[in-house]
Structure 1
Amino acid sequence: MSFKPNLAANACHPLPGHGILEVSGPDAAAFLQAQAMNDVAALAPGRWHWNGLLTPKGRVIALFALVHAAPSRFLMVLPDFPAEELASRMKRFVFRSKVVLQPLPWVAAAGPSPAFAAADAVLDGGDGGLALDMGGEDGPRCLWLLPSGHPSLAAPDAAVASAWHAADLAHGLPRLPEGQREAWTPQMLSLERLAAFSLKKGCYPGQEIVARTHYLGQAKRGLVRLAGESLQPGLAVDAAGQAVGTVVCATGDGREALAVLGADAPGDLAAGGQPCRRLPLREGLRRPA
């Protein structure tokens, strides 16, 4: 998975709110397989997929990209959860496993897109940097994972960060602020669109709820993309004066959002007293499970 990135100086703009947690050691794969909702055992070195951690009641604590960087070494790329906080939380379940949880002083940044052999391929620049294909229906995007101080890192750019966040939402990737953690099941967030959880792997926290919801057909709510004004997380979505859902996350300007709505919610919607309308979810962020 090596390549020559030829990254120019100041080519990559840091994305705020992203952390990187390294999980390494002889038992790293088994530890993650027992804790995470997707099939880590099926993730080959040099590949990545969407994954997450659930409460025992099947509610999403954190959603992340899981990179199998090398045998016995994984990187959890966390867009909305501090790596230090998640490491502390996960250490409670290490017990006697030979695994090390270490937040890395790395930066997740938006930068130039090289050619990827596959959508889930991890490209290694040979200088400590890794690249993930985050492209979708709207065109190519590349997420660079770079050590702090890397010469390709530029100053933060608010416009770049805003566009990245908006693209995540447009493609149905929920960005979970602290107030929306442990509030939704994977099906409520339509995470099957991202192949972010497994119904076939062994037990993990919340697995029983996820499986029951799937096999009994009880997923009565799902993710909807909305356009409106002053949209913000936690805002109730109404139809004909009745609450039909909740905004999960929104763009910085409040004009677009992802909300969890009932499957039978009518078309005329409002949030915060302002009318809003449905937008189609973009495709292309799904990665092999």
Structure 2
Amino acid sequence: MPQRVFRLIVSKLAPSICKQDTQFRKTVPADIRVAAVLLRLAWGANYFNTAEQFGVGSSTIQEFFPEVIEEIVGVLGPDYLQWPRGEAMVKVTRKFERACRLPNIQGALDEMFVLVRAPANQADSYFNRKWYTSLVLQAIANTDGAFLDVSCGMPGSVHDRLVLRRSRFTEKVESGEVLVDPVIVINDNYRLRPYILTDSGYQLESWMMLPFHITPRSSEVQKLSNEKQIRGRIYVERAFGILKARWQILTVGISTSIDWAARVQASPGWHRREGSIPSLATG
């Protein structure tokens, strides 16, 4: 991560994570707090190994880790994790159309599992179809690999369509906050509203496009449509790949409470590609 980006992050978080020295101990500076949290997220390191790198107690890092994560979500989130509007969204749809020859796409949606330590009394709810305990991270990405919307915290056993149904994004769609305009006219008179690409694991809605179920009787038009959709959905799959490569805690597993595991996944700076914004993903 470039030093200028790190300093920018520290400057934004410092007012809310700085503590006062006491007569019993000196507080850990804001830059050390941020650096320790970023190292743990990037390496997937435990508290003890992280503490060794900074010369502070592991219990101290365990104490401020959730505080810093909370501020990353609360302070950086509103600035850096936003649904594009106006000309910004026009650029998104144009890039999708160039990539897959389909008009008016505003994002591609997918999910990934994040390994977590499930509560002992609810472990069954967290076992996913791959037979390990996890939370579900749902995200919508553009062709640049930037995540435009993120929803996390549902147990791994919950089906894709139910995760989407219960997500804040669906609430936004139904309240008219997103996927409203522009409505374009194609084939002379068909009015096409904005939509997102998803895979066949979801239930069809008016604001999403799912692939056709291909059979021996399927038309060439249906097959071609599926090929185009694959070219669009690949961007969210790549975004997840970049996310896991940069922040190995998502692969190693989050050995903390379920509430904090969900907050870790929601850290907004993870969901941008290098160069798009000064974010935690840069570096």
- Relative to the length of structure 1, the TM-score reads 0.23
| Structure with greater helix share of residues | 2
- Relative to the length of structure 2, the TM-score reads 0.23
| Structure with greater strand share of residues | 1
